[in-house]
Every structure is written in structure tokens, then in C-alpha cells.
Amino acid sequence: MTTIVSGFISNVNKRTDVNIEKYFELGKILLKAKIPKIIFVDETMYEKIKIFDNEYTKIILIDKSDYELYQYMNNDILTNFHLNSDNDAKNTIEYMFTMCNKTEWINQAIELNYFNTEQFVWIDLGIKHVFKCDEDRYVNILESLNKKKYVY
């Protein structure tokens, strides 16, 4: 069996094209899947999705200031740092810290192993926007992950 690991932290960038309500709507579709899921979220998203904590889904409240990298947030090295990006509104330092923290969330999910699974896969909470299929097909795709065996 496989556990989906996902997460969402609000206000880590300056995007105006996608807001928390949009991520919440996309995330609700992922949460419908009847496959083990561990979802790491900040307080803003936690208040919206805590009702989805059930036999398939464990919602974990986190604080971005607990990231290992966050200790460098106000460091002099970062004061003059500029990311080489074509989308500065999206690719902020806090956004990059969040991206780097995904491996830590996977590690934490493995250590917690709430569902006693052998495999763990990261899927962005709002990834549904990439899929050009209806909600039922998307949920079926997610649920099919439980049938795959990944060899490493």
C-alpha cells in the first residue's frame, strides 16, 4: 500500500492568480480519494480541512517557522539574495523553503506511518489543475496508486 503525502502553507509567495480558496477547492478533490493520506498544513488551511481527518486522511498542523531552513530567514546572507527566476511573485525565499521542506514532510510521514504502508509518494494538494479530466477520473488515478508497487 501507498500513503500520499501532501501539504500546503499559505502566504509563502505573492501570487494573485491562485488564492487559498482555490487551493482548498482543489485539495478537497484529493481528499476524496480512499487511499491513505498524510497532509501537512498551516493554521489557515487546517481550519478549512480539519473536517476531512478520517480513516483515510491524517491532517497535521504545522508552523513554517519550524522548518530547518527557516532559521536562516532573517540571515544577512539572504538579505541581498535574489533568486534567478522568471516568476518573482511565486518564487520567494519562503516558497523555496516550503519546496525544500517537502522531503522533510515525507520523512516525517514515513516515521509516523499512521497507515502502516510500505510506500510514500508526494502529491501537491492543488495538483488537480494539471489534470485534464473530471473529478471522478482524478480520484480514480489517485486511488490506483495503492495498487502500484515501486521498486528501488
Q: What is the pLDDT of residues 62-107, one digit of tens each?
A: 887 777 777 777 776 666 667 777 877 676 777 777 878 899 999 9
CA–CA dist 74, 19 (Å, integer): 26
Q: Is 106 helix (H, G, I), strand (E, B) or coil?
A: helix
Residue ranges making up the domain that contains 125: 2-147
Beta strands in the chain (DSSP E): 2-8, 37-41, 57-61, 119-122
In a domain, 152, yes or no: no
Percent of the chain residues topping a pLDDT of 90: 46
In a domain, 75, yes or no: yes
In a domain, 132, yes or no: yes
* Domain total of the chain: 1
Percent of the chain residues topping a pLDDT of 70: 88
